[in-house]
Amino acid sequence: MAIEMNSQLGSIDVSREVVATIAGGAAVDCYGIVGMASQKQIKDGLSELVKRENFTRGVVIREVEEEIHIDMYIIVSYGTKISEVAYNVQTKVKYQLEQMLGLSVDAVNIFVQGVRVANS
Protein backbone atom coordinates (compact mmCIF):
# COMPACT_ATOMS: atom_id res chain seq x y z
CA MET A 1 0.00 0.00 0.00
CA ALA A 2 1.37 3.42 -0.92
CA ILE A 3 0.73 6.95 0.26
CA GLU A 4 -0.69 9.05 -2.55
CA MET A 5 0.09 12.75 -2.91
CA ASN A 6 -1.59 14.90 -5.54
CA SER A 7 -0.05 17.93 -7.26
CA GLN A 8 -0.89 20.14 -10.21
CA LEU A 9 1.03 17.85 -12.54
CA GLY A 10 -0.43 14.55 -11.36
CA SER A 11 -0.24 12.10 -8.51
CA ILE A 12 2.78 10.64 -6.71
CA ASP A 13 2.72 7.30 -4.93
CA VAL A 14 5.31 6.87 -2.18
CA SER A 15 5.81 3.44 -0.65
CA ARG A 16 5.25 3.13 3.10
CA GLU A 17 8.68 1.51 3.33
CA VAL A 18 10.29 4.67 1.92
CA VAL A 19 8.49 6.81 4.50
CA ALA A 20 9.50 4.37 7.27
CA THR A 21 13.15 4.39 6.12
CA ILE A 22 13.32 8.20 6.15
CA ALA A 23 11.61 8.36 9.56
CA GLY A 24 13.88 5.68 11.04
CA GLY A 25 17.00 7.32 9.67
CA ALA A 26 15.98 10.67 11.14
CA ALA A 27 15.28 9.07 14.52
CA VAL A 28 18.59 7.20 14.71
CA ASP A 29 20.45 10.49 14.05
CA CYS A 30 18.96 12.09 17.17
CA TYR A 31 21.06 12.40 20.32
CA GLY A 32 20.10 9.89 22.98
CA ILE A 33 18.85 7.14 20.65
CA VAL A 34 20.62 3.80 20.98
CA GLY A 35 18.48 2.04 18.38
CA MET A 36 15.06 1.04 17.18
CA ALA A 37 12.93 -1.68 18.72
CA SER A 38 10.21 -3.87 17.26
CA GLN A 39 7.33 -6.06 18.31
CA LYS A 40 8.76 -9.05 16.42
CA GLN A 41 11.30 -10.50 18.85
CA ILE A 42 12.51 -13.41 16.68
CA LYS A 43 13.17 -11.18 13.69
CA ASP A 44 15.04 -8.68 15.87
CA GLY A 45 17.29 -11.37 17.29
CA LEU A 46 18.24 -12.53 13.80
CA SER A 47 18.89 -9.05 12.45
CA GLU A 48 21.11 -8.22 15.43
CA LEU A 49 23.15 -11.37 14.76
CA VAL A 50 23.64 -10.35 11.14
CA LYS A 51 24.45 -6.76 12.20
CA ARG A 52 22.29 -5.40 9.39
CA GLU A 53 21.03 -1.86 9.93
CA ASN A 54 17.35 -1.60 9.08
CA PHE A 55 15.77 1.81 9.60
CA THR A 56 12.24 0.49 9.02
CA ARG A 57 12.42 -1.69 12.12
CA GLY A 58 10.33 -0.10 14.83
CA VAL A 59 8.41 2.26 12.52
CA VAL A 60 4.71 1.78 11.79
CA ILE A 61 2.98 4.03 9.24
CA ARG A 62 -0.81 4.36 9.61
CA GLU A 63 -3.41 6.32 7.66
CA VAL A 64 -6.33 7.40 9.83
CA GLU A 65 -9.11 9.33 8.07
CA GLU A 66 -6.77 10.92 5.47
CA GLU A 67 -4.21 11.73 8.19
CA ILE A 68 -0.77 10.14 8.48
CA HIS A 69 0.28 8.82 11.88
CA ILE A 70 3.71 7.35 12.57
CA ASP A 71 4.37 5.07 15.54
CA MET A 72 8.04 4.74 16.49
CA TYR A 73 9.45 2.20 18.95
CA ILE A 74 12.81 3.41 20.24
CA ILE A 75 15.51 2.50 22.74
CA VAL A 76 17.08 5.46 24.52
CA SER A 77 20.50 5.92 26.06
CA TYR A 78 20.85 5.66 29.82
CA GLY A 79 21.22 9.05 31.51
CA THR A 80 19.35 11.11 28.93
CA LYS A 81 16.09 12.93 29.59
CA ILE A 82 13.54 10.68 27.89
CA SER A 83 10.97 13.42 27.28
CA GLU A 84 13.55 15.59 25.50
CA VAL A 85 14.79 12.70 23.36
CA ALA A 86 11.21 11.84 22.37
CA TYR A 87 10.43 15.47 21.52
CA ASN A 88 13.61 15.74 19.41
CA VAL A 89 12.68 12.57 17.51
CA GLN A 90 9.16 13.87 16.86
CA THR A 91 10.33 17.22 15.50
CA LYS A 92 13.17 15.78 13.41
CA VAL A 93 10.97 13.10 11.82
CA LYS A 94 8.27 15.62 10.93
CA TYR A 95 10.85 18.03 9.51
CA GLN A 96 12.68 15.39 7.44
CA LEU A 97 9.48 14.03 5.90
CA GLU A 98 8.29 17.55 5.08
CA GLN A 99 11.63 18.49 3.48
CA MET A 100 12.30 15.27 1.58
CA LEU A 101 8.81 14.28 0.45
CA GLY A 102 6.61 17.31 1.07
CA LEU A 103 4.57 14.97 3.27
CA SER A 104 2.57 16.50 6.10
CA VAL A 105 2.59 14.17 9.12
CA ASP A 106 -0.22 14.68 11.61
CA ALA A 107 1.20 12.67 14.52
CA VAL A 108 4.49 11.04 15.51
CA ASN A 109 3.86 8.74 18.46
CA ILE A 110 6.95 7.64 20.41
CA PHE A 111 7.00 4.40 22.39
CA VAL A 112 10.13 3.95 24.52
CA GLN A 113 10.77 0.21 24.59
CA GLY A 114 13.93 0.25 26.67
CA VAL A 115 16.90 2.06 28.14
CA ARG A 116 20.45 0.89 27.41
CA VAL A 117 23.96 2.02 28.14
CA ALA A 118 25.36 3.42 24.90
CA ASN A 119 28.66 2.06 23.62
CA SER A 120 31.34 4.74 23.93
The fold of 2-116 is: Alpha-Beta Plaits (3.30.70)
* Sign, Cα dihedral of 114, 115, 119, 120: positive
Chain segment 17-41, per-residue pLDDT in tens: 999 999 999 998 999 998 888 766 5
The whole-number pLDDT of residue 49 equals: 32
- For the chain, the domains span 2-116
Crossing angle of helices 82-101 and 16-28, in 10° steps, is 140
Q: What is the pTM of this model?
A: 0.82
Q: 37-41, 45-49, 55-59, 97-101: which has the highest mean pLDDT? A: 97-101
Q: Is the dihedral of CA 59, 60, 61, 64 positive or negative?
A: negative
Full DSSP string of 43-93: HHHHHHHHT---TTTTEEEEEETTEEEEEEEEEEETTS-HHHHHHHHHHHH
Residue 89: the pLDDT is 96
Sign of the CA dihedral 46, 54, 63, 30?
positive
The conformation of residue 34, written as its DSSP 8-state character, comes to E
